[in-house]
Amino acid sequence: MHSQFRILGLFADFDGAFAAIADIRRFKAPGVKIDNVTLKSPIEHPEIEEVLGERPVHIRGWAFIGATFGLIGSFVFFAGAQANFLAQYRGGKAIITVATNIVLSYEMLILFGVLFTLAGFVVGARLMRKKGALYDTAISVDQIGILIEDLNADTLQTTRALFHSHGVLDILEEEIT
Amino acid sequence: MSDPVHVKDINEDIAWAKINADVLRSMKNPRLGYWIAIAVSIAALSVGVAGEVYQYNVGMGPAGLNTSHMWDLYISSFVFWIGMSHSGTLLSAILHIVHADWRKPIYRFAEAMTTFSLLTAGLFPILHLGRVWNMHWVVPYFSDRGIWPNFTSPLMWDAFAITTYLISSALFLFVGMIPDLAICRDNAASGWRLRLYTFLALGWRGDDRQWRNFRVTYLVIACFLIPLAVSVHSIVAMDFSMSIMPGWHVTTFPPYFVAGALYSGCAAIISLFLLLRYLMKFEEYMTFPILDKVCKLTFVIAMVWSYLNLIEFASVWYGHDIPAKEVLIAKASGPYSPFFWGMIAFGMVLPFSLLSKKIRRSLLLLFVISLLLNTGMWLERWMIVTPTLSLGFHPFAWNTMWPGWVEWGIELGSFGWFGLLFLIFVKVFPSVSMYEVKEMVYHRKHVVFDDVEAEIAKLYPIVDPKARGAAQTPDLGRP
C-alpha cells in the first residue's frame, strides 16, 4: 500500500503563494489536483476565488431556510397559543391577531435566520472538528500557507521542489497512511 | 507638524506581527487607569446592588412609583440603554455593508458595547416589575396553567425584540471575533485562556474555505441586524406611542427613537474610543482621522434627531391636542424646564461644536462633549416619561415626581455594571480586530481597487466553474 502525504508550505506573502498555486494550475506539479489545494492565510484575500477557482458557499441557503422557518413556524406558534388561550376573554376581538403576530414573526424571522446562518457557517467552514490538518501558528501572524493533500511520494517531491522555487519559508509534512 | 486630522486613517507600513503583538499586549498589560476604572465600576455597581436589595426587601415604595407614575427612571433608563446599543450595529453592520473600511480598528468595541448595553437595558424591566421572581411569566412557554402572555402588548413585543437583538448581536460579535480568537489561542501559553480561546475559536485555521464562509456569514448576519435594530427601537417607541397618553401618541416616535438611539450610541462610541485609546495604548489604531469621521457621523445623526424632535413638537402644537399641548408647554416652562432646556442645549446645540476642527482634535474636550451629548440624550428619555405622567389627562393626579435614592442608586449601578462588563471584555478579548486591521493595511498598501480585475486577469487565469475538470490543462495558463 502506497503512503499518502500532506504538505504545508509557508510563504512570506500572497504573491509567492499565488505564484505557486498558478504553477500548480499550469501543471508544473504533475499529479497535484487544484481541488486538493487549501490556502491558509491570516486575512481573507479578495482574489482567493480567482486563484483557487470558485468553490460553493451555501450560507445564504441556510439563512433563507432559517428565516422562512422563523416566519412561518412562529406565526403558527403564536396563532396556536392564542387559539388555545381559553382563560382570556376576547370580548369580541379577534382571537388570532394578525397584525401583532406579524410584528412578532418578523423578530423570529430574524432570530432563526441568524441562528441557521451560524449553523451553516459551522457546517460549511468545517469548524468544530477535533482533527485538523497541518497548521502553523505563523499563519495567524503574517505567513501564508498552502496545504496540499493526497500526495504520493513522487508528487510530494515535485511539490516540495515547486515550493522551493517560489521561496517557501518553511515546509511541514505529514504522512496520513 | 502635520495636521493630525488629515493624515491617513492608519499607518500602512505597520507590520502584521506588530498588530498582533500590540493587541495581545493590551490584554495583558493595560495602564493603571484601567484598574482605577474597574474599581470605580465596582463601587458604582455596589451602590446599585445595595439599592436593589433594599427595594427587594421593602417593595417598590422607595422607588417613588405610584398610581399616576407607574413608570419613571427605570423605564427611561431602559430606553436609554437600548438606544446605546444601536451604535454597534450602525458602526459595524451598516458601515461594513457600505465598505467603509475605517470602521475596522474600532467596530469591535462598538459591538461589545451593543451586547453589554442590552444586558444592562434588560435589567430595568425586571427591576421595574417589582416582583422579580415572577419575571419568567413574560416568557411564552407551555405550562399546566394554560396561560400565555399577552401577545398584543408592545411590552411583550419588547421581550421578543430585545431577546432577538441580544442573541443576534452577541452572535455577530462572536462570529466577527473567531479569527482573532484563533490568534489568541495560538499565542496563549496555557491555563484558562488557552482553554477558553481554543473552545471559542471553533478550530479556526484560516483556510480559504473558512474565510469564504466567514465572509458570507458576517455579511448575512449584518443584513439581518440592520432591520432588526430599527425594529427593536421602533417597538420600544411603540411602548409609548401605542398608548393614548398626551405627548406619547405621536406617529414620528419610532423614527425619532431610532435616530436618538443612533445618536446616543455614537456619542458613547466617542467616549469609549477615547478611553480605550488611552487605557489600552491604541494610539496607532484609534487614530485622529478615524475619530474625525466618527465625530462627523455623530453630527449628522444629531441633526436628524434634532429635526425629528422639532417635528414631534410641531405635530403636537399644530395638531392642537390640548392635553398634549399642555404637557409640551409644561415641559418648557414647568418644574421640569431646566431638564428640558438642558436636553435642548446638550442634544441640539452642543453637536454644532463638532463642526470645529480644533474641537475634533482636542481629545479631552471631545471626551467632555461626548459625555454631555449622552447626558442630553439621557435627559431626553427622562423627559419623555416623567413629565407626561406628571401631567396626564386627570388634573387630580397632576404632581411633580423626582426619583428617590433607590432609583438613583440603581441608575448609578447600571453604569457600573456596564462599565465592569466592558472592561472585563477588553481584558479578555481583543478590542481591536486584528485580522480586519491587517486587511485594512494590506488593501490600502497593495490594492488599487479600480484595477483589481485587470490585475487578476493578467496574473491569474480565470476558472469557469463548469470547466473545473479542465482547470488543470496547460491551455488555461497565460504566459
Query: Domain containing B86 — which CATH number?
Result: 1.20.1630.10
Domain assignment present for B56? yes
DSSP secondary structure, B347-384, as one string: IIIGGGGGG-HHHHH-HHHHHHHHHHHHHHHHHHHHHH
Contact A141 B205 (CB under 8 A): no
Domain edges within chain A: 4-42+142-176, 58-125
Domain assignment present for B162? yes
**Helices first, then strands: H and E counts in chain A:** 5, 4
User: How many whole angstroms separate alpha carbon B323 and alpha carbon B333?
Assistant: 15
Q: Angle at Cα B226 formed by Cα B303 and Cα A65, nearest 5°?
A: 165
Question: Which one-letter DSSP state was computed for residue A78?
Answer: H
Contact A18 B474 (CB under 8 A): no
Burial-class residue B200 by CB neighbours within 10 Å (0-12, 13-18, 19+): middle
Domain of residue B260, residue span: 42-139+149-434
Written as tens digits, the pLDDT of chain B (479 aa) is: 455 555 788 888 899 999 999 999 999 888 899 999 999 999 999 999 999 999 999 988 888 887 778 888 999 999 999 998 887 887 788 888 888 888 889 999 999 999 999 999 999 988 988 888 888 888 888 877 777 888 888 888 999 999 999 999 999 999 999 999 999 999 988 789 999 999 999 999 999 999 999 999 999 999 999 999 999 989 999 988 888 888 888 888 899 999 999 999 999 999 999 999 999 999 999 999 999 999 999 999 999 999 999 998 998 889 888 889 999 999 999 899 999 999 999 999 999 999 999 999 999 999 999 999 999 999 999 999 998 888 888 888 888 888 889 999 999 999 999 999 999 999 999 999 999 999 998 888 776 544 555 555 555 555 555 544 444 444 443 33
Show Cβ contacts of residue B400 under 8 Å, excluding neighbours closer than 6 positions.
B335, B336, B390
Q: Which helix (H) or strand (E) holds B267?
A: helix B253-279
Phi, psi of B160 (to 5 degrees): -70, -50
Q: Please tell me which residue of chain A has the smallest CA distance to B146.
A: A85
CA B267 to chain centre: 10
Show Cβ contacts of residue B147 under 8 Å, excluding neighbours closer than 6 positions.
A85, A87, A88
- What Rg do the C-alpha atoms of chain A give, in angstroms? 26
Which of A148, A60, A119, A40 is closest to B435 using CA atoms?
A: A40
Is residue B89 within 8 A of residue B229, CB to CB? The reply is yes
Beta bridge partners of A6: A174
Domain assignment present for B463? no
Domain assignment present for B144? no
Closest-CA distance, B393 to chain A, in angstroms, reads 26
CATH of range A4-42+142-176; options 2.40.30.10, 3.30.70.260, 3.30.565.10, 3.40.50.720: 3.30.70.260
Residues in A 132-151 with any Cβ partner in B closer than 8 A: 132-133, 135, 137, 139-142, 145, 147
CA B235 to chain centre: 17
Counting the structural domains of chain B, the total is: 1
Domain assignment present for B219? yes
- Of the candidates B163, B164, B461, the beta carbon closest to that of A25 is on B461
Indicate the pTM of the whole model: 0.89
Phi, psi of A30 (to 5 degrees): -55, 135
Coil, strand or helix at B399: coil
Closest-CA distance, B263 to chain A, in angstroms, reads 23
Give B-chain residues touching A141 at CB under 8 angstroms: 16-17, 20, 183, 186
Which of B255, B256, B176 is closest to B218 using CA atoms?
A: B176
